[in-house]
Amino acid sequence: MDTASAKGRAVSAATGAEDVVLRFEKVSRLFGAFAAVQSLDLELHRGEVLTLLGPSGCGKTTTLRMAIGLERADAGRISYGAVTVDNPQSGVFIAPEQRQMGIVFQSYAIWPHMNVFENVAFPLRTRKTGEREIHEKVKAFLDIVGLAGFENRSGMHLSGGQQQRVAVARGLVGAPDVLLMDEPFSNLDAKLRDQMRVELKELQRRLGTSILFVTHDQTEALALSDRIAVMKSGQVEQIGAPLDLYMNPQTSFVRDFLGQTLQMKADIQCLNEDGSVQVVLANGQILLVSGQNHLITKRSSGPCLVTIRPEEIGIGDKSSSQSPNHVSARIRTLLFLGQHFEALVDFEGGDSFLIHLPRLFGWQEGQALSIHLPAEFLQIWDRD
């Protein structure tokens, strides 16, 4: 073993004491007057997949690039294990090539003048690894990503999926503590994307590498992550496990960014003894909402917004419309999408909403429905 990889090990050993592999403390990055990242706090735990999710321009890619040093922080501290890698106040900056992380770019960045073997071997060569070890490791990682036998293929003659695998193998071959992935699936077609998602998840479980993942695709984020940090304007809006984030968004931005919601204007009538809340819709319909979902201000009166995920809606026929939390509606437009129908329905005396209808029934435009809005899935928000 040589000094370079020994140093890498030293970094990992030092992190053993703690569970945090990568830490951002009050990190900012300015482009002119524009703050791409603003006083960001973030921790990547050992062995987890942490996804930075947000719309373009929210600072997620800048955060990832600061992690490896392709972008320098303007303020704050970034540490990799126990080592501070970027801290402008004290003038500390460790160059990307000395950080020994792995990275997979959106464009894959497969070097066109090298074959698959040389692309993957490159990180080992920069660390002056012995030729035998290089051969063993490259072969092992090409096996892992399913590219055994492709060693001599030129970087130019690879499909999108193959390039992606080469990039992953190259990112992992140096046994980094962190693999950074910047929108790695966005250039693949939908089918391949689904497949690569599963493969990456299995690979990560097998190797236990911590992954900092950047995407704007919520499905990808929900499927892959142990935790998701939803970012907005250079800051983390909310961080948590995918299910928790999906079910209990803390801000309207997170609510609207993850999945769809039906939003109905309403007024709070009163708080019941059991803690539930009674609200009235614009059409006079009264709805009951479980108390724990009265999210923001716990007010007992005044205008509010009642929301529900479309998939939590129950569909009944007209006979059940007298039961509590049932709304009468009529199908205006019906679209068949394969797995299910999408229907634009008019609520009686109120707004129109897009909801999903199961394929099994013979739906028709103009058909009357009774829509069940279960109290436990309704949420009360302040109107923005």
Partner 1 sequence: MMLQSTIQSPRHANRITAKVLLSFLLLGLVGFLVVYPLYSLVLTSFQINEFGRDPLWGLAHWFKIFDQARIGRAINNTITLSLTRQVISIVLGVLIAWLIARSNLPGRKWMEVGFWIALFMPALPVTLGWVFLIAGRSGLLNKALYELPFVDGPVFNAYSWWGIVWVHLMTSTIAVKIFLLVPAFRALDSSLEEAARASGATLLGTVRSIVMPIMMPTILVVALIGFVRAMQAFEVELILGAPRNIDVYSTIIFRSMTQEPPQHGLASALSILFFISIVPLVLLQQWYSRKHHYASLSGKFQNRMQDLGIWRWPLSFMIWALLLMMTIVPFACLLLATFMKLFGMFDMAQPWTTDHWVNALSRGDLPRALWNSLRLGLLSAFTGMIGFTTIAYIATKTKFAGARALDFLTWMPTLIPGLVLSLGLLQMFTSVQMFRPIYGTIAVLILAILISTMTIGTQMIRGSLLQLGHELEEAGWAAGGSRYYTFRRVVLPLIAPSVAVIGLEIFATANSAVGMIALLGTGSTQPLSILQLVLLDSGKFETASVVGIVIMVLTVSSALLARTISTRAGLGRHNV
CB of 183 to partner 1, least distance (A): 8
User: Is 246 a residue that touches partner 1 (CB under 8 A)?
Assistant: no
The site map against partner 1 for 168-197 (x = CB under 8 A) is --x---x-----x--x--xx----------
The site map against partner 1 for 34-53 (x = CB under 8 A) is --------------------
For residues 217 and 51, the answer to whether their CB atoms sit within 8 Å is: no
User: Is 81 a residue that touches partner 1 (CB under 8 A)?
Assistant: no
Nearer to partner 1, 113 or 132 (CB): 113
Stretch in the footprint of partner 1 (CB under 8 A) among 101-109, 275-283, 346-354, 357-365 = 101-109
For residues 38 and 66, the answer to whether their CB atoms sit within 8 Å is: no
Which one of 3, 107, 301, 352 is in contact with partner 1 (CB under 8 A)? 107
351 phi-psi bin (left φ>0, alpha ψ -120 to 50, beta other): beta
For residues 18 and 87, the answer to whether their CB atoms sit within 8 Å is: no
User: Is 100 a residue that touches partner 1 (CB under 8 A)?
Assistant: yes
CB of 72 to partner 1, least distance (A): 8
Which one of 54, 76, 81, 102 is in contact with partner 1 (CB under 8 A)? 102
User: Is 54 a residue that touches partner 1 (CB under 8 A)?
Assistant: no
Measured CA to CA, the distance from residue 343 to residue 87 in angstroms comes to 54
Measured CA to CA, the distance from residue 181 to residue 79 in angstroms comes to 18
Nearer to partner 1, 192 or 288 (CB): 192
Structure tokens at 214: 């950047």
User: Is 66 a residue that touches partner 1 (CB under 8 A)?
Assistant: no
CA distances from 67 to 94, 110, 180, 248 (A): 11, 21, 8, 29
Which one of 24, 108, 213, 341 is in contact with partner 1 (CB under 8 A)? 108
Measured CA to CA, the distance from residue 15 to residue 46 in angstroms comes to 9
Measured CA to CA, the distance from residue 38 to residue 236 in angstroms comes to 9
Measured CA to CA, the distance from residue 105 to residue 194 in angstroms comes to 18
Q: Which sign, positive or negative, has the C-alpha torsion 152, 155, 156, 158? A: positive
Which one of 123, 184, 234, 240 is in contact with partner 1 (CB under 8 A)? 123
Site for partner 1 in 249-278 (CB under 8 A): none
